[in-house]
A = this chain, B = another copy of it.
Amino acid sequence: MCELLGMSANVPTDICFSFSGFLNRGGGTGPHRDGWGIAFYEEGGYREFRDPHPSVDSPIARLICDYPIKSRVVISHIRQANVGGVRLANTHPFTREMWGRPWCYAHNGQLEGWQALPLDVYTPVGSTDSEHAFCWLLGELRRAFPVAPASFEPVAALLHTLCERLRGLGVFNLLLSDGESLYCFCSTKLVHITRQAPFGEAELADADMTVNFSEHTTPCDVVSVIATAPLTHNERWSAMAPGELLVWQQGSIRARYGPY
């Protein structure tokens, strides 16, 4: 299995603290040695860093820890390969442009019978179940909405239905974003925490590192982190329910779908 990390914030925020703990799971405190990636949305633009090598040894990952990239939406993934070899083309997150926006996707879990999911506009580059499911998801959304709907709601409602179909094929924990909304679907495990004033101290569970958020924030900041498992051991993280889709915007939950 892999691990997921997402962030949604109402001000451009760096993810150095959370990522420092997360990347230690990539071959350090965790078994996820088969690559890692992180994607940042900035000023309507998008960039990602991916490496098929363990994050704990990666000079690129170290750079990301030390070089604060400010973003409102971040998606990251560390991989323990099951379907598809360890190579760059199989390294999450995956990206495709839809409706003039870069859509970013990362998946934790494993699917059965995914080869039968029909593809349309989007074709996988690599050989993973994850990327195939992504191409199917976006293809279905685009088939339903040839142009972007005026609001996120119809997209989220259809996405929830599609995620439930994928959950029927196995384990499908999802992070997906277009840069505005961060869609999180829980199949087995996803937890989240929202940090806002009054800010306190947090201690990483996977590295010897503490941060006092009050020194790095303003009273209006709202920053939420979503992950496969809690990244800190002195804060209370909330667990999502299997079958639940949360839509995050500006650091807060904007909508909730399921479980039904």
Interface residues of A (CB under 8 A from B): 42-52, 59-60, 63, 67, 87-91, 95-97, 99-102, 121-126
Q: Is the CB of B87 within 8 A of A43?
A: yes
Q: Is the CB of B102 within 8 A of A45?
A: no
Given A45-B91, A63-B63, A88-B42, A125 contacting B96 (CB threshold 8 A): no
A70 to chain B, nearest CB (A): 11
Given A59-B67, A63-B59, A125 contacting B89 (CB threshold 8 A): no
A53 to chain B, nearest CB (A): 11
Q: Is the CB of B125 within 8 A of A88?
A: no
Q: Of B59, B60, B122, B126, which contacts A45 at CB under 8 A?
A: B126
Q: Is the CB of B121 within 8 A of A99?
A: no
Q: Which residue of B lies closest to A122 (CB)?
A: B97
**Residues in chain B near residue A44, CB distance under 8 A:** 87-89, 125-126
CA of A47 to CA of B125, assembled, Å: 12
Q: Is the CB of A60 within 8 A of B67?
A: yes
CA of A99 to CA of B121, assembled, Å: 9
Among A44, A45, A96, find the residue whose CB has the most chain B CB atoms closer than 10 A: A45
Q: Which residue of B lies closest to A67 (CB)?
A: B59
